[in-house]
Structure formats: C-alpha cells, structure tokens
Amino acid sequence: MKVRCKFWFESERGYIFGEGAYEILKEVEKTGSINEAAKNLGMSYRHAWGKIKEIEENLGEKLVISTRGGKEGGKSVLTDVGKELLERFERYLELFEYVIKHPYKTPALTVDGILIQEGKILLIKRKKEPFRGKYALPGGFVEYGERVEEAIIREMKEETGLDVKPLKIVGVYSDPKRDPRGHTISVAFLLQKIGGRLMGGDDASEAKLFPLNSLPSLAFDHEKIIKDAISLLRDS
C-alpha cells in the first residue's frame, strides 16, 4: 500500500496550475513548440493549447509566446511569468515530496562540497529559489537510504559534472535559520577531483572556479563554511 497525494495552485477563480499543466509547459520549454510538446506527451495540439489558454485566462498573465513562419518555422517560448510558474511549482513540489516522505517535523539533511584547486574554489550559480542567481557551494538534499558521502558525490556530478572523492568533513552546520525554506542541517565535505568535465547542471545554471581572495556574494551560510575549510587546510 502506498500513500499518494497531489497538490496544485488555486486562486479565487479556482484551479490554476497542477502536475498536468506543469508537464505541458516544461515540454514546451524543452522543445520550443506546443505541437512537439503535445506529441511527446501523447495528447492533441488542441488539448495542450487549450490547457495553456485556460491557465492564462485564470491567471490573467501570458505564459507562452508563439511565432509563425520564417525559415525555421514557428516557435513557442515561455514568458518570464511562465518560467517563474514552473520554478515555483518545482520548488513547492520538492518541499511537498519531502513532507510526504517525512511526516514528522524534523530537520532536513543536506550536504555541501568544498573543492579547492590552485587557490580557487568551485561554486555554482543557483538556478532556483532561494537565492536564485547567487553563488553557492555545490550540494543538496540527502535522499532516503543514501549515505552523506554518496549524496555529495551524486550532487557534485549532477551540478558540476565532476567526479569527486570526499576527503574529510569540514563541519556540521545546523543553525535553524540558515535556510529560508526551513530547518536544514548540512554536512560539509572537503573534496578531491578525480574525473569528469566542469559544467553547470541540474539546479546550477553555472559552475565556475573563483579565486579564494575574490569571492562573490554567497548564499546561505556558505561564506562561513568556506572560511572553516580554509582554516582546516592551513592547520593540516
């Protein structure tokens, strides 16, 4: 027996956005075409377009802009409102799934990775809220049944494209206010690169090495974590 739940966005007018609508917009974003999106999802163009128009009317905002003709044919792209709606749904879905899997009110466990090479540290630019557009250490939530060492290896691969080996724990960070989404506890690892190719992915729009003496503004409490890592390296 499994517990299954769904959530959706509503306004005073009623239903606005849910899982089905999310899949349509996500496919339009990926393919650049409502027609291709409908085919990939096994539905008619009319149904997909009708669903988009229904959301736009209920929301009072334009979600998709379509153009016709030209050498490359028609194209459909999401508006900024459409992109933000997708990101908000993904953000709430992540939290919703976590609460369903963890019905008791306990801190969420996360990991952060510190990879320092030749006086530079690897940071990612966050693609989603919180702190969208700001730089942070690579990392994320530990999945159920996963060791923290396995989690940081997975997150590094997903967000930076690199294969890494955990060397030692820099510290455990548990301030209830460190994450605006709720109470998270992070295990921060000092890492060694063992392979892969550097590129941003998953929740990271960019992965880049920064000089330790010239860091950008950082998300969460990552400035403190980096300072602790540097002190650890100096003392070792």
Catalytic residues: 206
In angstroms, rounded to a whole number, what is the distance separating the alpha carbons of residues 218 and 124?
Answer: 10
Give which of 161, 19, 211 is closest to 97, Cα–Cα.
19
- Cβ neighbors of 58 (< 8 A, separation 6 or more) are 11, 13, 14, 15, 16
Distance separating alpha carbons of residues 179 and 189, to the nearest angstrom: 18
- Axis crossing angle, helix 45-59 with helix 19-31, rounded to the nearest 10: 110
Nearest to 155 by CA among 96, 116, 182, 115: 115
